[in-house]
Amino acid sequence: MSGIIITNKANIDEVSAAVQSLGFKVAVRNRLNFDEVDCDFYLFSATSVNHLNQLLKQVDATMPTDVPKIIIIKERILPEIDLNLVNDFVTLPFNKEELRKRLQFHLKRQAISKKIIKTDGLVLNCDSYEVTTDGLPVELTYKEFELLKFLMSNPRRVFHRQQLMEEIWEYDFFSGTRTVDVHIRRLRAKLGPKYSHHIKTVRHVGYLFR
The pLDDT assigned to 183 comes to 94
| Structural domain spans, the chain | 2-113, 116-209
Q: How much is the pLDDT for 112? A: 62
CB 85 within 8 A of CB 55: no
Distance CA 50, CA 130 (A): 43
Eight-state DSSP code of residue 8: -
* Spatial distance between the Cα atoms of 37 and 33, rounded to a whole number of angstroms: 8
pLDDT tens digit sequence for 130-186: 999 999 999 999 999 999 999 988 888 899 988 888 888 765 555 567 889 999 999
CA dihedral 31, 33, 38, 40 (to 10 degrees): 10
Amino acid 47: pLDDT: 66
Closest residue by Cα to residue 209 from 161, 122, 151: 151
Predicted TM-score (pTM) of the model is 0.50
> What integer pLDDT is reported at residue 42 of this predicted model?
82
The single-letter code of the amino acid at 6 is: I
Give the CATH number of domain 116-209.
1.10.10.10
Reduced to 3 states (helix: H, G, I; strand: E, B; else coil), residue 47 is coil
Per the DSSP assignment, residues forming a β-bridge with 70 are: 43, 88
Angle of helix 178-191 relative to helix 142-153, nearest 10 degrees?
Answer: 90
CA-nearest of 149, 49, 26, 43 to 102 is 43
Fold that domain 2-113 belongs to in CATH: Rossmann fold (3.40.50)
